[in-house]
Chain A
Amino acid sequence: MPSLREIEKTLTTLWTNGEARRWFLAGATLEQAPDSVAELSAEMLPELDKRGIELYGNLIGYGHHDVLESIYPHCAFLLAGEWQSVMEDYFLKCPPVHYNLNRICQPFSAYVTEYGGKYLKRYPFLAELADYEWIELEKMEDPREVKRVGGENISGLEQIVGCAPVINPTLILRRYEYPLLEIVEKLEEGQKLPAKIKKSATVIAVFREADSHGAEFMELGETVVKLLEKTLSEKVSYQDLLLQFLADNPQSSPETGIVEFLEIIEELQSSCLLVGSRQLD
């Protein structure tokens, strides 16, 4: 009698591997078996209920495909008729190794990059679009708490010298080669995408908003990116950021530069990329 391990491996292979399942359901011989059935328990096969194998194969496949499509609706829309086979191939190449249903879809962007050559020729931004769709979910579910800590208004010299910005703990910066915000906007509005979309490097801040818990996407200019990257990478005061800002913008007078800097900080605070300030030690 096969062991519990052999039984589980045999069933799992037949339920999750479409090629193996089709071979089994067709009643073909072991000599005709595809490579994927190498580890099957041969003595079990005659005893297996074909309709049951087919039903569980369909239930498992449906569950996996349903969640992938719900997380990547724009990718699904663009791939249309090929989406079904893409989903099947994705779960073969990237088996679902996480207990959380949503997380089994995380590697889809990497899958598109590695295996989606023919789709990338048609939609060269597809891997970035997949990343964008994943990040939206990831930020909504991020376990870190987004909480405003006070001190959003920075005005006086004392605060600039003695305080540091508190960054939204869910914030990440994504550098895309294509204009993702424009692409997603067109897809959401049901507009047809241009036949060719030109590269246009963008940096997008992605984060969860404190009150709505929604994932927010914000395109940033290089000056703001530099300020945020500095804030993300080291402990900095507003003074440190201001000095960097002034050095990067020599065309502005110091007075104008300070005003512009404070306007940027106010914008970052109000949009929740920063969630307040803290006193420096």
Chain B
Amino acid sequence: MAFLEIKKSLPQLGVGLGLRRELAVETFANGDKIDWLEIIPENYMELGGAARERLDAASACFPLVTHGVNLSIGSTDDLNQEYLSALKKLLDKIDAPWWSDHLCFTSCDGVYMQDLLPLPFSKEASKHISSRIKYVQDFVQRPFLLENISFYMNVPGAEMSETEFFSQILEDADCGLLLDVNNVYVNSINHTFDPYRYLDQLPLERVVQIHVAGHKRIDDYLIDTHGSAVIEPVYELLEYVLQKTEVQAIMLERDQNYPDFAVLLDELSRLRQIANATGLFLDRQKLLGHKLNASESINLERIEEISQRGREVRALSA
């Protein structure tokens, strides 16, 4: 089935947050204000102990989707079958309606750099990535979304613009788009382009999920840190996209420099207002379904106990 047909059958998840160990207690405690959670699968694949218990609790309370950091879809290395098998097992366990990763490479010659690295906007890269996306979609048997990254240098070998490159891959692979509006903003400043024109050049009808985040200026660059408040121009880009297309989910990314949780709840509330203004996610009970009850009965002391120690991957790039 073509992706745009599949998109029509995907559930409306609403406004969500990333499940992070440091925020776990507040996240569960505010289950009535958070519609769904995104997890970094590498923090849960083939891992037991506290990570698994936290995942089980989250799965009982919220719809979950994964947002990976090491699929390395743009790498010329063979796809890592061990990784894919572990990811598929996790996706099946949480019954994710879709999964996503980044338009980048993270490994070369088997070495994982653990960062989201830019690619040349070339025909060779486009063809290579499209074919790999088709393979992973077939293997995982769940809809795949590809996300635009923030990048801090242009890679030689470009034969087209970023939007042409991205669009060609999305069309050829026939997959979904995870649009990060903060990345669009950050790139528009670092590489001096009009972010609205950029958005107009993408097949926005393929957007299923949107990421919203904060960034930080370091020397001459804006860096996608996920460690600051969302700024107004980024909210405006979100608003612009929602006026053009219907999406299933919006997610606030926060990975460091955690503020009081009330600040994050305010940001989530703002995202909801913007979505509601375009007619999205108006029926919250329909979004949350039976999971709301599970959230109310969660043992927060236990969540706190199992979230004291550990180390998780962030969404990288900073």
Across-interface contacts of A95 in B (CB, < 8 A) = 110-111
Contact indicator per residue, chain B 73-95, by CB within 8 Å of chain A (1) or not (0): 00110001001000000000000
Q: For B120, give its contact among A4, A56, A208 (CB under 8 Å).
A: A4
Contact A99 B154 (CB under 8 A): no
A128–B91 Cα distance when bound, in Å, is 38
* Closest-CB distance, A266 to chain B (whole angstroms): 25
Contact A70 B311 (CB under 8 A): yes
Task: State how many residues of chain A have any CB contact under 8 Å with chain B.
Answer: 49
A124–B313 Cα distance when bound, in Å, is 32
A214–B124 Cα distance when bound, in Å, is 48
A15–B52 Cα distance when bound, in Å, is 34
Please name the residue on chain B nearest to A141 by beta carbon: B47
A118 touches B (CB below 8 Å): no
Q: For B42, give its contact among A55, A100, A212 (CB under 8 Å).
A: A100
Task: State how many residues of chain B have any CB contact under 8 Å with chain A.
Answer: 49
Across-interface contacts of A9 in B (CB, < 8 A) = 108-109
Contact indicator per residue, chain B 101-139, by CB within 8 Å of chain A (1) or not (0): 000010111111111010110101100100000000000
Across-interface contacts of A16 in B (CB, < 8 A) = 111, 113
Enumerate B40-58 residues with CB–CB distance to A below 8 Å.
42, 45-53
One of A30-38, A46-54, A149-157, A193-201 at the interface? A46-54
A71 touches B (CB below 8 Å): yes
Q: For B125, give its contact among A4, A48, A140, A208 (CB under 8 Å).
A: A4
Across-interface contacts of A148 in B (CB, < 8 A) = none
One of A20-28, A59-67, A216-224 at the interface? A59-67
Please name the residue on chain A nearest to B153 by beta carbon: A52
Enumerate A35-89 residues with CB–CB distance to B below 8 Å.
44, 47-49, 51-53, 55-56, 59-60, 63-64, 67, 70-71
* Closest-CB distance, A2 to chain B (whole angstroms): 6
Q: Which residues of A contact B (CB under 8 A)?
A: 1-5, 7-9, 11-12, 15-16, 44, 47-49, 51-53, 55-56, 59-60, 63-64, 67, 70-71, 95-102, 104, 137, 140-146, 208, 212-214
New A-B pairs, 11, CB < 8 Å, besides A99-B70, A101-B311: A1-B157, A2-B156, A5-B76, A51-B153, A63-B316, A67-B311, A99-B112, A101-B114, A143-B46, A208-B49, A213-B50
Which 6 residue pairs of A and B lie closest in terms of their CB atoms, listed nearest first? A52-B153, A47-B156, A12-B108, A213-B49, A99-B70, A213-B50
11 examples of A-B residue contacts, CB within 8 angstroms: A11-B155, A12-B111, A12-B113, A44-B156, A53-B153, A60-B115, A63-B114, A70-B311, A71-B311, A98-B112, A101-B114
